[in-house]
Amino acid sequence: MTKEKLLAEIRMMGIKDKKVLEAIEKTPREKFIRKTDDSQAYGNYPLPIGYDQTISQPYTVAYMIQELRLKKAHKVLEIGGGSGYNAAVMSNVVGKEGKIISIERIPELVEFARKNIRKEGIENIWVVKGDGSKGYKKQSLYDRIIVTAACPKIPEALKDQLKQGGILLAPVNAGFGQEMIRLKKTNHGFEEESLGQFRFVPLVTED
């Protein structure tokens, strides 16, 4: 599939946010996958990136970023950096004034993501090796937090590191399928909303 056909397909599937569609168009997915999968770069499905991890389906990437309600200059914490693709798409939405902190547990994928991001000349993404369930307190508080792996429940550390008025998006339940949950932090706690069913690889912690 070509990038143009992929964009047409995800529009038909309900992606309406122009900023997200432009970011998908600008971000070369072929630069964030294994060379052996080049011909499948714009297929609307996940691809393996090694170490039992995948690069998410483009529709899922677009949907999550759309529902995260990103704006220019936002500071975003990403849990599960993978190959760096999701962070690269988000970096196009938040612009040069924005900042993406991406946490990845697997050392080889940390290096893979850093190399991919460096080659693309992206300067507003920092890939950090660590346990995503603990967040990254050093750079908190965050406007947005996105979890790209399935968690049994949303870690309290992530809730603590979210700004007032901020949004956190995560697939919850480590079973066969997960429920996409959007939390908004308010003065009175968290407003929770379910956005439907998805499937993700599990979030592995160091505990």
Each residue of 113-169: pLDDT tens digit?
Answer: 999 999 999 999 999 999 999 999 999 999 999 998 888 889 999 999 999 999 999
Active site residue 56: yes
Architecture of domain 3-198: 3-Layer(aba) Sandwich (3.40)
pLDDT given for residue 52 in this prediction: 87
| Predicted structure pTM score | 0.92
pLDDT value at 199 more than 80: no
Q: What CA–CA distances, in Å, run from 7 to 18, 20, 60, 122?
A: 11, 10, 13, 22
List 39, 56, 91, 102, catalytic entry: 56
CA atoms of 146 and 11, how far apart (whole Å): 22
Domain ranges of the chain: 3-198
CA atoms of 169 and 143, how far apart (whole Å): 12
